Amino acid sequence: MGNTYHIRTLCSLTVRKRLHPFRTFHPIISHLFLIRDWADGVIALWIVGFIGALIVGVNLHYHKIVKNEYYGYPQEWFPSVSATIGDRYPERSVFQLCIALTSGPRFLLVLLWYFLTSRPGSSLPKFVASVGIMRTFLCGGWVYITSTDDHDWHDIFMISYLVLTLPWTLGCLATSPVNAKAIRYRKILAGLFFGTLVPLIYYFIQHKVHKVPGAYTIYAFFEWSLILYDVGFDAVTALDFEGFELRLVDTKSFSKGNSQLADVYAEELKKEKRPLAQEFTTAFSWAAMIDTLSDLYLGFAFWSILTSLGVVVWYFPLWHMGISGYEIAILATISPYLLCNVSVRRAVFSNLPMVYIGSLTTLVAFFIVIPEVRLFLTTTGLFFACLAWATNFSLESTSSRFDVKTSAFSLGLIMSSVAKFANHTNNPIWPLMNSENGGWNKIGLLFAVLSIARTHFRRPVAPAVDTTMYSGRDGSQYLAAIGFGGLLFALHSLLSDSSTMITWVWDGYPVKGPLAVPHGAYTIIAMGAGFLISLVKQELATSPLFFIVGCIGAAFLQSFHGWWGYYGALILTVYLMAITPSFIQSCARYPPGATFGTGFMVYNVLVLAHVWVVAYAFVPGGFLLRERTWLVMTIMMAFIGVGLSVIISNNGTGQPAKPKGDFVGTKRASRSYFVYALAGLELLAISIAYLRFPRYDYKPYHEKEKMVTAGIWTVHFALDNDMWSSERRMRDLIREMELDVVGLLESDLQRIIMGNRDMTQFLAEDLGMYADFGPGPNKHTWGAALLSKFPIVNSTHHLLPSPVGELAPAILATLDMYGTMVDVLVFHSGQEEDEEDRRLQSLGISKLMGDSPRPLVLLSYLVTNPKEGNYNTYVSEQSGMKDIDETDWDRWCEYILYKGLHRVGYARVSRSSITDTELQVGKFIIDGKESSEEQIEESEVPEGYRFPAQFNGEGVRGHQYHVFDKPRYFV
């Protein structure tokens, strides 16, 4: 039925089809006009605002508005939207005046759309209307706060407007009346709008990162096309308003004798319009949405707990430099084996909410300072979490909530990845986080408690289930478990952080592939695509052909760098997320104890293999997997293939039985709400990518003096002595020491045992520095990274000879320092026990330094005494290098060497409790002069050349100049 709205007021206003504005005038003030004409006028005024500003700007300030921070005319010859509407008067005023005239009609447009689409029992039109109102306010934000007024707030309003465009677009499509022409136009324009975002982002990166001439002009064309598509989408509304009637009736005038007009209105009231067909037929329910969010948050909590154990366990062998015994904690994941016992199974099935509460011990661990206690609490929480989810999958296997649980499991991983993306790869509710280093532990714990209460205490617990309900006791349960274990390992090792696979394919500067920001959002989008496939096309997800596609993706990820390797990563991502529900469903057919317990055991074996490939020098039998990530990847995909064979062999019976009943409130739960949640997470990821996009406008601390302050620091995988994440404490010391260049060693955290983290993201963004992650995690090193205030013109990654011991990583980077090309070499030598390795490595590094034609600084970890052994290979005629201070005899690991630079200062700064190694710092001037050996007092040094005075004496926060108590200065 059509919608006719009657509003009684002091005047009579009728809006009708085929009547033009003010076509008639009635003594009772009755105005008749056509809504379509009015809507067309609003849209036209919008277009006039943009086009008018463009015409005025091109005529008055052409060269100014086409110029950006890198290039002007003729390289750039077409202005961006922001430059056109916000940079200059009077074009800015032309635009703002037109937009002001459309502000009221825009609100009215949203109101009329709500009247047109509202229907009893559905709150979706209200949601769409609220989004439309918010978009209108945000539009005013970026229109009247221009980029020249406040760049940050202009961007915030703009990105928020674009983010809300997705729910507005989907909402309008979902609530559209039956109008084939209008729906077709909306789909075309929406597709063009979102499709244009891909090349838009690509050319923005070409401009911002690669500084390609002319890229910003191409970007501008895509930006202007977005405006046209956005305005055009709203303009289609005029087609729907053709048959819409709105009446405002003056009842007082009717009572005074206007019976003829009143009779006309009364007759019109009896007419019914055409019915409205909705693409979403189910009424939206906030209660069901809250149920969904509760389930989703419990999925997020599970992945947060699972991913936290590795890094908490790793703390102990890290400090023991070998097997500590605490590694036994990883067996907490096999708690589902307890379900093999009938009594335990019945007790757990009957008290599932209490098992979930037990998992919260991980989330309360942050209250405790003692590392051993935190490990115990984390292990206990994971023990209960694995038990709870194995139980849940089994309990719900014959209920309509099974799809909800598998969706929550998958989407919880996406939420975990988004949370880490927002928090620079740290999960804010991990037990190594707290309020001082970026943690949101208390809020995370509160949400977990509320989610458990909402999900489990509001409905009766299902009766205990006996094993007789399960089918498939022919041994195939163990094959299904192998598949589940391989899949769980793949999800954890590759997808628990959006930047992990990007570091796999990273190959230095110039950039030839994806960046953690913004391309981490691509990984999250691919995860969402796989999740959607799992909802609507499970038969595709479990087809042999799709498995082959997934294997090809894994092979590309393993074999290629740059974009080709990342394309393989995205394919593998879609595949893994698509098969997740089917693999869980396959396991849920069988007795939960043996099946999920074995699945988690297989996962543990793969985790150990994942560690052994890099820790081979410290573990028994390490030579078997030394540097064989390809073998672990192959086994992982083979295990997934085994699990897939079970599903295929069952010929569809691998799916759980059809639901036999519902628990209380289950009927409201729908997988469609997970699609809403997914859309929200994807929008959040895109927003985070935009807000975190680096500006690349970094400046060194002593530009006037043309000074470079360089440091070397071994940072122990960003874990401090008390097992807290240490990035913020590192940031404070680097900033206060005014380091322009710093080499970080033991910096590769992209493994399960380090939490799949990347410390360089936070440090680079917060300090305003370029970052080179160094050799990726598939290169089997402990990591070497470089941060620089100066642009990194080129960088290459090297693995030095290591026939016996651990691999030695190196980064050789060319930096543009005040117009002079200077090489910086960051290097970590092998361990003390392997003398031949270190000799070969010293020869390799010496050759790299000797072959460099430019000034060079070595920031290194050499494992040698000064003027002994391999030291004389590093400091030699072949290398051309000098020691920053030959008189400093108290060194073993960290050294700073240089050539072709003017050395002016050297300092050693104590570590406090951040790590086990000090920070060494050197100051150099880019002036072409050679350094002398004469040492001078600080009073003889110009103030701009001195090290910060706050670290003299007792220093601050446990950091002070030590060994020789104060910095040393040279002529």
DSSP annotation string for 661-704: ---TTGGG--HHHHHHHHHHHHHHHHHHHHHT--------TTTT
pLDDT at 818 over 60: yes
For residue 593, name the pLDDT band (cuts at 50, 70, 90).
very high
Rounded mean pLDDT, 295-303: 96
For residue 474, name the pLDDT band (cuts at 50, 70, 90).
low
What's the chain's average pLDDT? 83
pLDDT at 663 over 80: no
Q: Is residue 276 part of a domain?
A: no
Q: Is residue 336 part of a domain?
A: yes
CA distance from start to end of the chain: 90
Q: Which of 315-324, 454-463, 666-675, 933-942 has the highest mean pLDDT?
A: 933-942
Position 223 scores a pLDDT of 80
Give the separation between CA 171 and CA 241, rounded to whole angstroms: 17
- 577 vs 265, which has greater pLDDT? 577
pLDDT at 118 over 50: yes
pLDDT at 776 over 90: yes
Rounded mean pLDDT, 748-757: 95
Annotated catalytic residues are 828
Give the separation between CA 177 and CA 123, rounded to whole angstroms: 16
pLDDT at 2 over 50: no
Of 665, 691, 717, the residue at which a domain comes to its end is 691
pLDDT at 267 over 70: no
Question: Mean pLDDT lowest for which of 93-97, 286-290, 452-456?
Answer: 93-97
Position 155 scores a pLDDT of 72
Q: Looking at the structure, tell me whether residues 296 and 259 fall in a common domain.
A: no
Q: Is residue 275 part of a domain?
A: no
| 22-42 per-position pLDDT tens digit | 333 333 333 334 444 555 555
Position 244 scores a pLDDT of 58
Cα distances (Å, whole numbers) of residue 231 to 21, 193, 226, 235: 23, 10, 8, 6
Position 130 scores a pLDDT of 81
Position 764 scores a pLDDT of 96
Q: Looking at the structure, tell me whether residues 259 and 296 fall in a common domain.
A: no
Rounded mean pLDDT, 339-354: 91
Cα pseudo-dihedral 205, 208, 210, 216, rounded to 10:
80
CATH number of 529's domain = 1.20.1250
Q: Looking at the structure, tell me whether residues 588 and 628 fall in a common domain.
A: yes
Q: Looking at the structure, tell me whether residues 366 and 391 fall in a common domain.
A: yes
Rounded mean pLDDT, 488-510: 96
Total structural domains within the chain: 3
Give the separation between CA 949 and CA 334, rounded to whole angstroms: 54
Backbone torsions φ then ψ of 169, nearest 5 degrees:
-65, -50
- Both tokens of 952, joined, read 């003299």
For residue 66, name the pLDDT band (cuts at 50, 70, 90).
confident
Residues in a beta bridge with 825:
812, 858
Question: Mean pLDDT lowest for which of 127-141, 383-397, 655-669, 830-844?
Answer: 655-669
Range 845-881 burial, b when 16+ CB lie within 10 A, else e? bbebbeebeebbbbbbbbbbebeeebbebbbeeebbb
Rounded mean pLDDT, 125-141: 80
pLDDT at 113 over 80: no
The strands making up 707-714's β-sheet, listed across from edge to edge, are 770-772, 784-788, 741-745, 707-714, 919-925, 902-909, 968-970, 935-936
Q: Looking at the structure, tell me whether residues 869 and 959 fall in a common domain.
A: yes
- 742 vs 932, which has greater pLDDT? 742
Position 24 scores a pLDDT of 34
For residue 813, name the pLDDT band (cuts at 50, 70, 90).
very high
Q: Hey, how many other C-beta atoms are within 10 angstroms of the C-beta on 458?
A: 12
Position 666 scores a pLDDT of 39
Q: Looking at the structure, tell me whether residues 248 and 311 fall in a common domain.
A: no
Position 48 scores a pLDDT of 67
Position 536 scores a pLDDT of 83
Q: Is residue 460 part of a domain?
A: no
Rounded mean pLDDT, 861-869: 94
| 692-708 per-position pLDDT tens digit | 988 888 999 999 999 99
Q: Which of 17-21, 60-64, 207-211, 330-334 has the highest mean pLDDT?
A: 330-334
Task: Give the structural domain span for 747.
Answer: 707-970
Position 46 scores a pLDDT of 59
Q: What is the H or E stretch that residue 290 is in?
A: helix 286-320
Residues in a beta bridge with 924:
708, 903
pLDDT at 262 over 70: no
- Residue 472 burial (CB < 10 Å; 0-12/13-18/19+)? middle
Rounded mean pLDDT, 50-63: 76
Give the separation between CA 792 and CA 775, rounded to whole angstroms: 16
| 215-251 per-position pLDDT tens digit | 888 888 888 787 777 777 777 776 666 655 555 555 5
Q: Is residue 810 part of a domain?
A: yes
Q: Looking at the structure, tell me whether residues 224 and 322 fall in a common domain.
A: no
Position 3 scores a pLDDT of 47
pLDDT at 655 over 80: no
Position 469 scores a pLDDT of 54
For residue 795, name the pLDDT band (cuts at 50, 70, 90).
very high
**DSSP state letter for 956:** B
Give the separation between CA 22 and CA 244, rounded to whole angstroms: 18
Of 239, 269, 299, the residue at which a domain comes to its end is 269
Position 241 scores a pLDDT of 65
pLDDT at 519 over 90: yes
pLDDT at 744 over 80: yes
Q: Is residue 22 part of a domain?
A: no
Question: Mean pLDDT lowest for which of 91-95, 228-232, 655-659, 829-833?
Answer: 655-659
Position 583 scores a pLDDT of 95
Question: Mean pLDDT lowest for which of 45-59, 94-108, 241-255, 919-933?
Answer: 241-255
| 334-346 per-position pLDDT tens digit | 999 999 999 999 9
Backbone torsions φ then ψ of 685, nearest 5 degrees:
-60, -45
Q: Is residue 458 part of a domain?
A: no
- 870 vs 656, which has greater pLDDT? 870
Question: Mean pLDDT lowest for which of 133-147, 371-385, 946-960?
Answer: 133-147
Q: Looking at the structure, tell me whether residues 746 and 622 fall in a common domain.
A: no
- Both tokens of 693, joined, read 């996009």
Q: Which SS3 state, helix, strand or coil, does residue 970 take? A: strand
Rounded mean pLDDT, 549-574: 96
264: which residues sit within 8 A by CB, 6+ positions away? none
pLDDT at 86 over 70: no
Position 546 scores a pLDDT of 94
Omega of the bond prior to 694 within 30 degrees of 0, cis?
no
Of 643, 664, 691, the residue at which a domain comes to its end is 691
Position 397 scores a pLDDT of 64
| 881-912 per-position pLDDT tens digit | 999 999 999 999 999 999 999 999 999 999 99
Position 667 scores a pLDDT of 36
Position 47 scores a pLDDT of 67
Q: Is residue 367 part of a domain?
A: yes
Position 878 scores a pLDDT of 92
Give the separation between CA 637 and CA 617, rounded to whole angstroms: 26
- Comparing CA positions, the residue from 189, 185, 254, 175 lying closest to residue 227 is 189
Residues in a beta bridge with 907:
921
Q: Looking at the structure, tell me whether residues 107 and 41 fall in a common domain.
A: yes
Q: Looking at the structure, tell me whether residues 290 and 260 fall in a common domain.
A: no
Give the separation between CA 422 and CA 767, rounded to whole angstroms: 17
pLDDT at 431 over 90: yes
pLDDT at 420 over 50: yes
Question: Mean pLDDT lowest for which of 308-312, 572-576, 686-690?
Answer: 686-690
- Comparing CA positions, the residue from 69, 660, 604, 640 lying closest to residue 329 is 604
Rounded mean pLDDT, 293-299: 94
pLDDT at 275 over 60: no
Position 268 scores a pLDDT of 45
pTM strictly above 0.75: yes
Q: Which of 39-48, 244-253, 531-540, 663-672 has the highest mean pLDDT?
A: 531-540
- 547 vs 111, which has greater pLDDT? 547
CATH number of 937's domain = 3.60.10.10
Give the separation between CA 193 and CA 236, rounded to whole angstroms: 14
Give the separation between CA 368 and CA 377, rounded to whole angstroms: 9
Q: Looking at the structure, tell me whether residues 826 and 745 fall in a common domain.
A: yes
Rounded mean pLDDT, 425-450: 96
Position 470 scores a pLDDT of 57
How many percent of the chain have pLDDT more than 90?
Answer: 54
Rounded mean pLDDT, 362-368: 95
For residue 13, name the pLDDT band (cuts at 50, 70, 90).
very low
Cβ distance 418 to 681 under 8 Å? yes
Q: Looking at the structure, tell me whether residues 485 and 522 fall in a common domain.
A: yes
Position 61 scores a pLDDT of 78
